[in-house]
Amino acid sequence: MNYRLHHLRELEAESIFILREVAAQFQNPVLLFSGGKDSIIVSYLAKKAFYPAKMPFPMLHIDTGHNFTETIDYRDFWVKELGCRLLVGSVQDAIDQGKVVEERGYNASRNFLQTSVLLESLETGKFDAAIGGARRDEEKARAKERFFSHRDEFGQWDPKNQRPELWNLFNARKHMGEHFRVFPISNWTELDVWQYLALENVPLPNLYFAHKRKVFQRDGVLLADSEFIPKRPEEQVMEMTVRCRTIGDVTCTGVWESNASTIEEIIEEVATSRKTERGGRTDDKRSETAMEDRKKDGYF
């Protein structure tokens, strides 16, 4: 007998271990759900980790009001599939109540507003751990983040003062008012995610597959035509066959010209792609350290 595991099975075992550790070490965890493939895979793994019991924590969606409609449809379908509870933190409500002020102008996005709604939702729900789908291969600041990532009472990340993580030992001790972000799929790459989704036959939002859509070009990125993005006069809308590699808000998620209409074709495309998936995310392009800066403030 050959006691070896395929790398996807080893990653799966690691993620399941982390998810069970969250349930064991925290009082009141919550799983952050965006509707993207990474949070889909984390929630899928959470279902597996506690089988045949239900996952012992709810899901939280920070709804910016600027979603692709497909994302919300999928979210509601997926919550039923998993049989879990869904909580929604609404950016629109926060704007309406005057808690936050909408960004204006060219490339305006609600990305930044998500942070304060997220932190408020965590505080209201008294959540001490927020499970997320961030991966270390996505972005250079994330490459340094721990599985169990400590946040102070302001929700801030201190990258220079992170707790060392060795072996299988995770330290979830904290003071009152502090919380943790936990990233069970830290060690997965984009390709691992797709290969696993294919292996397990996980249902996905249609946005990931090639479809016809009205788009326009801005700063070298294709954006979906939407009422939420004011266009400049020179920005021409055209219909193209595209798909999303990541899913965020309509306002900051670039789409890619692609004919990949099955998961196998997506794997093929990802395996041969020479551009990173976040290459289409205008929220990352605001500066060289945009992600680190946002994470320090309490972003996902």
* Smallest separation (angstroms) from other proteins to the CB of 189: 5
Choice between 63 and 292, CB closer to other proteins: 292
* Smallest separation (angstroms) from other proteins to the CB of 96: 35
Q: What does the alpha-carbon distance between residue 77 and residue 205 come to, in Å, rounded to a whole number?
A: 10
Alpha-carbon separation of residue 209 from 98, 248, 255, 261 (angstroms): 38, 15, 11, 5
* Smallest separation (angstroms) from other proteins to the CB of 60: 22
Choice between 66 and 151, CB closer to other proteins: 151
* Smallest separation (angstroms) from other proteins to the CB of 167: 5
Contact between 278 and 246 under an 8 Å Cβ cutoff? The reply is yes
Choice between 143 and 237, CB closer to other proteins: 143
List contacts with other proteins (CB under 8 A).
Answer: 1-14, 16-17, 20-21, 23-24, 47-54, 136-137, 139-144, 159-160, 162-169, 171, 173-175, 186-187, 189, 191-192, 195, 199, 273-276, 279, 288-289, 292-293
Choice between 172 and 240, CB closer to other proteins: 172
Contacts of residue 207, Cβ cutoff 8 Å, sequence gap at least 6: 68, 70, 71, 243, 244, 247
* Smallest separation (angstroms) from other proteins to the CB of 102: 28
Give the β-pairing of 129-131 and 86-90: unpaired
Q: What does the alpha-carbon distance between residue 76 and residue 126 come to, in Å, rounded to a whole number?
A: 24
**Percentages of the chain per state (helix, strand, coil), in multiples of 5:** 40, 15, 45
Choice between 101 and 166, CB closer to other proteins: 166
